[in-house]
Amino acid sequence: MEVDLKNRNSIMITMENGYTEISEFLLPFITDFKQKDDKGIPLIFYAVRKGQHNVLKHIIENTKDFDIDIQIDGVSLLFEAVKCMNPDAVQIILQYNPLVEHPNEFGKTPLMEACTTDDDLSAGLLIDAGANINARENKGNTPLHHSCISKGNKTGKLLLERGADMEIINSDGIPPLIAATMKKNAEMVRNLLLFNSNVNVMDAFGNSALIHAAQMNCPEIVEVLISFHADTTIINRNGNDALAAARKSGSPQIMKLLSENRNK
C-alpha cells in the first residue's frame, strides 16, 4: 500500500481525518500492520488516539507475534489509551494481558495517568486488572496523590473505596490530605477525612493541613478541617500555628474561625 510524504498509509490518513467506516473498509487491504509514520508512530497508536476500536482489535488479532506492550518513547499502548481518556480502548487492550504497571519515563503508571485526567472508568478497569493502587512514581507520588493534585475527585473517591493508603508521603514529605489542601481541593479533603485520613498529618516542615489552608487563605477547607476536629494548636518548625499563618495571609475570616474554635 502506498504512503504519503509523512510515510502514512491510507488507513492512517483516514483515521487521522476521522473516517471510521472507510478505515474499517480498508482493513482487509492492509499488508503491514506494523507501519509507522515519519515520526515513528505505529498504526495501532493511530487507532487508539482516534478511537478506532474495531481497527485496534483487528490489528492486535491479525499481526503475527504482536507485542501488546509496544511502546513509543517509553509510552506503552495501554498508557496511551489511558492518556487519551479512551476506556473502551483500555478495556480492549486489557483483554490481551498487557503489563498494567508499565511506567513512562517519569515512573508514572497508567493508573496514575487515569487519576490525573480523572478517568474513573479506566481507573476502575486498571484496578480490576491488578494495578497497584499504592504504586509510587519518581517523585514518590501515588495514584491518590495524582487525584488530589489534579482535582481528580471521581478517581480519588474510587481509590479510597478500593483501600488506597492515605498516609503515604511523597519525596517532598507531602501526604495526600496536604496535597489536596495545597490545590484548594475542598471536595477531596472532605472525602479523605470521611475515609478517616489523619486530619492532623504534617508535612516535612511540621505544617498541618490546617496551617496550609490558613496560609493559602482557603476558608472553605479550614471549615472542613475544623469540622473534623483538626488541632488548631499545632506549631510548625518556624514556630507558627494556623492562627499565625492566617494573620500573615491577611484573612480575617479564617482568623475568626480559628479563634472561635481554638482548642475545641
DSSP state of 72: E
The cell numbers describing 86, all together, are 479512551
pLDDT in tens, 117-131: 999 999 999 999 999
The tally of CA atoms less than 13 A away on the side-chain side of residue 121 is 11
pTM: 0.93
In order of their start, the domains of the chain are 1-66 (1.25.40.20), 94-198 (1.25.40.20), 199-264 (1.25.40.20)
Q: What's the pLDDT score for residue 215?
A: 95
Is the separation of the CB atoms in 70 and 55 below 8 Å? no
Q: Which pLDDT tens digit goes with each residue over 62-120? A: 988 899 999 999 999 999 999 999 999 999 999 999 999 999 999 999 999 999 999 99
263 has a pLDDT exceeding 80: no
DSSP 27: G
Instruction: Dump pLDDT digits (tens) for 242-260.
Output: 999 999 989 899 999 999 9
Q: How far apart are CA 56 and CA 257, in angstroms?
A: 56
DSSP code per residue over 196-248: T--TT-B-TTS-BHHHHHHHTT-HHHHHHHHHTT--TT---TTS--HHHHHHH
Whether the predicted pLDDT of 264 surpasses 80:
no
Query: pLDDT tens-digit profile of 132-172?
Result: 999 999 999 999 999 999 999 999 999 999 999 999 999 99
